[in-house]
Amino acid sequence: MESAVIRLLGAYFDEELAGSRPRLRNSLDNAPAGGREEVRAEFQTLLRERALTAEEFRKATRAEFDSDEEMYSEFEKAYRFFFEDGPS
């Protein structure tokens, strides 16, 4: 599954890029018209449907989680960071 949300989350959880999280949010905020809302909608679908497994995410990125539950908990934090100014 390659999508804008997976790429965004891959960068968000990349330990080498952890200091770049504010830039990730800024790039999302400055996306072309409708781009931010498209990513938000895709992200909401991912959180609602939970169709991605931790193993699939690990294969698509370098991020590892012990379980799907842990991964989605972290995804929810990332969603708040990107769209609600919540914790990162």
Q: Does 74 reside within a domain?
A: yes
Q: Does 88 reside within a domain?
A: no
| Distance of alpha carbon 26 from alpha carbon 31, whole angstroms | 9
pTM to 2 decimals?
0.88
| Distance of alpha carbon 88 from alpha carbon 71, whole angstroms | 14
Q: Does 39 reside within a domain?
A: yes
**How many domains, the chain?**
1
73-84 pLDDT per residue, tens? 999 999 999 999
Q: Does 32 reside within a domain?
A: yes
**Residue 49 belongs to domain spanning:** 4-83
Q: Does 36 reside within a domain?
A: yes
Unique residue bearing structure tokens 């990730």: 24
10-37 pLDDT per residue, tens? 999 987 767 788 888 999 989 888 899 9
Q: Does 28 reside within a domain?
A: yes
